[in-house]
Structure 1
Amino acid sequence: MDANTSALLLPKLSDYNIFSGNPQALIPGNGFQLYELATGLFTDYTEKQRLIKVPAGTAITAVNDGLPQFPNGTILVKTFYYFNDKRAPAKGKRLIETRLLIKNNNQWVAGTYVWNPEQTGATLATSGSNTPVSWIDEKATTRKISYRIPGTRDCASCHNANNTLMPIGLKVRNLNIPVVRNGHPINQLQYLHEAGVMNDVNPQQCSTLPVWQNEKYSIQDRVRAYLDVNCAHCHSDAGSCARSVVRFAWDMPLDATRITEKRNRIVSLMARGRMPRTGTTVVDSAALALIKQYFQLQ
């Protein structure tokens, strides 16, 4: 992290007053609003909580189905954690890191805050690091990994559009899903508008990115949604893999992506844990199996 970047970030996560009460409970406070994604980025099976806050009197503005326009002062928060036992979340969780994206003077600044062992707070990291993590998964198997907490340069390798730091997942089509807020179902775009976060958008006039695990969608749509969220930000004309001939964007015609043409290369890289290249240390076996199944049908 360079001096100019670190000077714009507060040293402790608590300085932002993101959470109310016990920070480990992850209860949003101080105007931060929860948001969810139809399909999220795979990060070594972590759970994630996503929050957004915009300055009073401003809102993010949807101009199409992609990334909205964000006002200066926007703060995006993503906390990564593991349930001790995924079959029984009430048994507790371990918070690993919280990443912030803050828009200041029309530029985004990224910071990673690492939670202490006591789970009472998190401090700004100056570089990347590894930490051992163990949890019990849905099949009662104890999983152990060396989790990689990224440094600022790691974040910038993916959050990159023409060498400019940008958000990735918070696209309108990825937000256009039903959610439950205050015990009631509501379209998330409508909820964000009512919460004062987003301009008034008609959800029916916006497309929806499929939930890649949901079998109600076609296998092609599920695979393309997964590849869009996990790969398209780098494999784009403005991304860090611009020289690659493969594109993964959801809104690009399949024939133009060269996905099926390069199927063997894609499967090989994923199977070796080399795609996505940042943020993972293990292979997303369920996604890889689905992608292999899809290619076998071509």
Structure 2
Amino acid sequence: MQTVHALNPLRQTVERLRAAAKEGTKLALVPTMGALHEGHLTLVRRAKELADLVAVSIFVNPRQFGPNEDLDAYPRQMERDSRLLEAEGVALLWAPDVTAMYPEGYATNIAVSGVSDGLCGADRPGHFDGVATVVCKLFNQVRPDIALFGEKDWQQLAVIRRMARDLDLLFPRVDAILGVPIVREADGLAMSSRNAYLSPRQRQSAAVLNVAMRAAIDRLHEGLPAGAVLTELEGVVLAAGFDSIDYAELRDAGSIALLNAPNGNARLFVAARIGGTRLIDNMAV
């Protein structure tokens, strides 16, 4: 695995990898912020199934963190992450620092309206501008043929697809930006780097989120009103030890528009806080 930290060496390395490969070789990109877990490695393995070469980026992007969020505390485990990626057969690790990604005088921001409204877009103002900006840069830097993202961040996936389509980025088809299903712990909790922040008691309580969401979907299938089902879900989650609910909503999976009832393309989205940790999850209804 080749590891690069600056833009010019990155472009030279990508050119060498493509030149050494057979004609028609595909390059896949898996963007991450590091602190890799099985969910990330699942993305890498799926990328290897779909492409001949896999590049992974590790960059803790300050532009997607709010002023009171956990940028400084976000886990950074570059040596461990590098070993994991090398063991998976990754060809290229792109690991820029902040000055490489945002040089002095950087002044450009990408905002994607519509799909970024509501949910995490409402609770974390500016977050998806930061996501869209850094992913656009990653696409232009690595120039992959396909890119893979986890479906745990479903709204993020919708934002990236909309941005790529609107800006005529490298991808001729929206399906070149691939969502990979959520990887879950044995008790159903969605894997996340932030799970490491949970105390043993909080971790036990966190498992209720998955259970409550599945129960809510069952009730929706039974025909119960969505408002009552979501209120019940919130009560169950809070009773389990969560401190607050940022949202528990039905949204259209494509447009992220708010729904009052399932429409055949609905997803259930929940964000809840336990201690200092914010957990998110979503499921098809």
Instruction: Provide TM-score, normalisation by structure 2.
Output: 0.29
- Greater share of residues in helix: 2
Instruction: Provide TM-score, normalisation by structure 1.
Output: 0.28
- Greater share of residues in strand: 1
